[in-house]
Structure 1
Amino acid sequence: MNSRRRRRTRAAAALVVATIGLSACTTDAGTPTATDGVVQVIAAQDRQQVKPFTGELLGGGHFDTTSMASKVVVYNVWGSWCAPCRTEAPVLKRVSEETQDLGVRFVGINVRDNDAAARAFEENYGIEYPSITTDTSRDAILAFGPALPPSAVPSTLVVDAQGRLAARIVGPTDYSTLSTIVTETAEESGPGSD
């Protein structure tokens, strides 16, 4: 096994077992809190398809997951009212910009918010990738099934180029974790998978 592959395998293994202290914006019993957030990388053979969904976008227009076929897509569940969402916003922006040339796309899923506050949040943090509005986010949340607790905000889900859930982060993410997961998922597809 070459050294690059060993490093990737070790990093993936570390992420699978990592339980990190996170402060998710949730008050529902049974959902992740500051002491039980999770990072989970799913082995390729264990991945499940994410159900297709559609939604209206904050900036206007319509989103359909079929438009993302053959791309790695990072979905981030967020709200402008969520303090950890504000903390991770610069991380999401940076990783989205750094991985765009790899064919990776980011899509926000705005929840329990109003459109004006959500648009102000995106403008404040320079978020340029699209976000599904609160009014149409329910189908997006349900598409991930039990992998996404409905009240776990923020949460980040990485979908591989075959439309399968490759990783999930429940609670705020950091740069190193997100960049590693997204880059390695994109590298699985190989060059020219755009």
Structure 2
Amino acid sequence: MSHGRASRRRFTLLAAPAAAVALALTLSACGTGNKTGGGGDTHFVTGSGGISTVARGDRVAAPKLEGESLDGKQLSLADYKGKVVVLNVWGSWCGPCRLEAKYFTKVAKATAEDVQFLGINTRDSQRGPAISFEKDFGVAYPSFYDPTGKLLLRFPKGTLKPQSIPSTVVIDRDGKIAARTLTGIDDTELHKMIDPLIAEK
């Protein structure tokens, strides 16, 4: 009987981190306009549209993100330093991701000279549905294949990290986290996030 309790305890301890990740990834994406997202030293402000921004002098470096793309090629965030980078977290099963995909495709084409779009595809256990999603919506930019959300956990605590699906994080030319939204957005909102960073010299 005690052996059974010990086994259950071990299972609970092992399951707890996975449950925490699952909970973090299933949080609803409805911006509440909170000023900060974790202690007093976060330095970011969330506007009424749910877009959080960090002043240039307060930004922190984006984490090291590298791995396989959906088409099996090696992909690294570091390769795009010097450009503004839009990181969109999405899944083929996600309704809001489908709604915003056409806007991301449109803005990616319009800003290709200054901005690199990258996706992080997560919680798709197979690549097939995600690849079909990209074809359906004409997504030409690459996406990391991150079915278990490991890349998302690399974002430092207290920063503008992705916490829902969809989430969008924008990184400045110096490789620092500059803006984030935790909800699906359209082209107008996307431009609000990236245009000020394009203008930075």
1:35, CA displacement in angstroms? 6.0
CA deviations 1:7-27 (Å, max 9, x no partner) are xxxxxxxxxxxxxxxxxxx97
CA deviations 1:107-159 (Å, max 9, x no partner) are 000000020000000000000000011247512x1232333254x00000000
Look up the match of 2:187. 175
Q: Counterparts of 2:143 and 2:53 in 1: how far apart (Å)?
A: 24
In the superposition, the TM-score normalised over structure 1's length comes to 0.75
SS, match of residue 63 in structure 1: strand
Q: Percent identity?
A: 35
Q: Counterparts of 1:165 and 1:101 in 2: how far apart (Å)?
A: 20
Q: Counterparts of 2:24 and 2:171 in 1: how far apart (Å)?
A: 26
Look up the match of 2:19. none
SS, match of residue 61 in structure 2: coil
Q: Counterparts of 2:153 and 2:200 in 1: how far apart (Å)?
A: 26
Mark the runs of 5 or more structure 2 residues left unpaired by the alignment.
Answer: 1-21, 34-49
Equivalent pair of 1:156/1:168 in contact (CA under 8 Å): yes
Equivalent pair of 2:84/2:198 in contact (CA under 8 Å): yes
* 1:162 maps to amino acid: D
Question: How many residues matched?
Answer: 161
* 1:116 maps to amino acid: G
- Runs of 4+ aligned residues of structure 1 deviating over 2 Å after TM superposition are 26-38, 134-137, 142-150
Q: Which has the larger radius of gyration?
A: 2
Q: Counterparts of 1:63 and 1:30 in 2: how far apart (Å)?
A: 25
Q: Counterparts of 1:35 and 1:161 in 2: how far apart (Å)?
A: 26
Mark the runs of 5 or more structure 1 residues left unpaired by the alignment.
Answer: 1-25, 190-194
CA RMSD of aligned residues (A): 2.2
CA deviations 1:57-85 (Å, max 9, x no partner) are 01221011221121111000000000000
Q: Are 1:144 and 2:144 an aligned pair?
A: no
CA deviations 1:12-53 (Å, max 9, x no partner) are xxxxxxxxxxxxxx9769934446373112111111111212
Q: Are 1:42 and 2:54 an aligned pair?
A: yes
Equivalent pair of 1:50/1:165 in contact (CA under 8 Å): yes
In the superposition, the TM-score normalised over structure 2's length comes to 0.73
Q: Counterparts of 1:188 and 1:173 in 2: how far apart (Å)?
A: 23
Deviates more, 1:80-89 or 1:128-137: 128-137
Distance 1:35-1:62 versus aligned 2 partners, 3 A rule: closer
Distance 1:30-1:121 versus aligned 2 partners, 3 A rule: closer
Look up the match of 1:109. 120
